[in-house]
Amino acid sequence: METEARLTKLASCAGCGAKVGAGTLSKLLQDFKTRTDPRLIVGFDKSDDASVYVVNDETALIQTVDFFPPIVDDPYLFGQIAATNAISDVYAMGGEPRLALNVLCVTESMEEGWVREILRGGYDKAYEAGVIISGGHTIHGSEPLYGLAVTGFAKPEQIRKNDAAKPGDVLILTKKLGVGILTTAAKAEMMTDPAVMERLYRQMTQLNKTACEVMQRFRVHSCTDVTGFGLMGHSCEMAQGSGTTLHLQTAAIPFHQEALEYADMGLVPAGAYRNRDFCEKAAEVRGDVSRAMQDILFDPQTSGGLLIAVDERDGEALLREMKSVIPDAAMIGYVTEREEKAIVIEA
């Protein structure tokens, strides 16, 4: 739909680029008094995508919440992207999302029709995912925000954590990088190609449901979704949590080619600099990897793909099956015993 005013102009940040840096979060959560429970197998101390509580031998409860400012001007599309992004955390844990609550902040200047369209986009994407939106909470504020608190379920043995990669695993990424750079260019009115933007919109509204279903048929040891911390930030969390080193082969990493041009111009979102500050010291570059390509690796993604660490014996088979339904999926690296650095970027 067309809007006279621009929804993105009501927000200072866009999408997952608004996410507080991982380094800042860890400091904020230090030394809090919390209860423990052996059934809570994934909590905030794990830096994972969602919390996981084992109800019984057959059922694990997965909970997550995600919301952000507008990344596009179309309210309906914004609602779709925000819902897709929030639901993704459950897929990243290997679960099936079932219930959700709306999280919405509206400004005084927003038209009622915009608010309805944001919610309609969220409801439509939740319906596609098989998720019931059972309520929510709406407030007034200075910037619009939308997302979901999502509850999912899985068998305990199906849970895929982000700290269980093993030496010898290969790494598979299911969506292209560069979303943050291109949406930043669009907000600055420098990216005006409708074909490129339509490609981004399709990617950001693509559920990770199919990717999750495929990976569960193979010996996947670890998984996370690539969102606000960028490929580098989420890879760093996987490597450090697993006590391994992840090797990222830039020649194999899928990304939107147009993003390289804007990155070369220095047009990158603020979140990319926060991500670089968080994990650059934990990374080593081997070979000639341009600054622009490195920026793409640090680029915060909105509704990004899954990063999967799978047993090398299953790597090729998983990739073949994944590419048959998700053509952009690619094998982008491998896992070794811990080296000096947590991440090695290879040309």
Catalytically active residues are 16
Q: How many residues does the chain have?
A: 347
The CA dihedral of 89, 43, 34, 85, to the nearest 10 degrees, is -10
Residue 257 phi, psi dihedral angles, 5° rounding = -60, -35
Tokens in use for 72?
A: 């596009």
Q: Give the C-alpha separation, 116 to 110, whole Å.
A: 10
Find where tokens 């509704």 sit. 303
The count of other CB atoms within 10 Å of the CB of residue 216 is 15
Q: Can you tell me the distance from the alpha carbon of 182 to that of 335, in angstroms, rounded to the nearest whole number?
A: 30
The DSSP-derived string for 100-148 is EEEEEEE-TTS-HHHHHHHHHHHHHHHHHHT-EEEEEEEEE-SS-EEEE
**Contact status, residue 268 vs residue 174, Cβ threshold 8 Å:** no
Spell out a b/e string for 290-321, using b for 16 or more CB atoms within 10 Å of the CB, else e.
eebbbbbbbbbbbbbbbbbbbeeebbeebbeb
- Asked if residues 60 and 95 have their Cβ atoms less than 8 Å apart, the reply is yes
